[in-house]
Amino acid sequence: MSISLRQALQAKVRYTMNSPEWKLLYESKQKQKETGMKFDERQEQETMIIRPLEKRLDSYVAEELKVHMKNLVHNGHRQIVLDLSDIEFVDSSGLGAIIATMMVLRPQGRLMVCNVRDSVLALFRLTRMDRLIPVMDDADEALQAMSSD
């Protein structure tokens, strides 16, 4: 009895979707959609510091991040520091949300990121995002850089 590649892949997907790990991930993402993305925000002088309270910037939350950041810009915030201290993973959607923020801020505003974990920093370097958006060690360094310009 021979099965096709398609049948094997369908069986793998069914198995994967029935695994406890997948169910846990799915349930957490559904809960996240219901509650929305949460942020820690504070203003220091002219700069708004935003810390997403998520572990991942992926397709599940990227649109919410993009909308939130655009709202901040439209409300007059022109200097934004994105504190990524809680972020362990960023995918292309997350990068897109960060780039969208940078584009909305241009030409009058500035965006910096800080507290970037090594895995996320490697992605920034690989995609050369670190050349477009300054990466600072911490929020204090970012605030100092914002005020010196």
Q: Where are the domains of the chain?
A: 5-34, 37-148
pLDDT > 70: percent of the chain: 76
Mean pLDDT value across residues 10-16: 55
CATH of span 37-148: 3.30.750.24
Residue 31 is predicted with a pLDDT of 54
- Among candidates 70, 61, 49, 52, which has minimal Cα distance to 136? 49
- Among candidates 78, 85, 83, which has minimal Cα distance to 102? 78
CA dihedral 45, 88, 58, 123 (to 10 degrees): 90
Residue 93 is predicted with a pLDDT of 93
Q: Answer yes or no: pTM beyond 0.85.
A: no
pLDDT > 90: percent of the chain: 68
Total residues found in the chain within this entry: 149
Buried b (16+ CB within 10 A) or exposed e, 87-125: beebeebbbbbbbbbbebbeeebbbbbbbbeeebeebbe
Q: Helix, strand or coil for residue 89? A: strand
Token pair 């002088």 is at which residue?
45
Residue 19 has pLDDT above 70, yes or no: no
Residue 100 has pLDDT above 80, yes or no: yes
pLDDT tens column, 56-84: 999 889 999 999 999 999 999 999 999 99
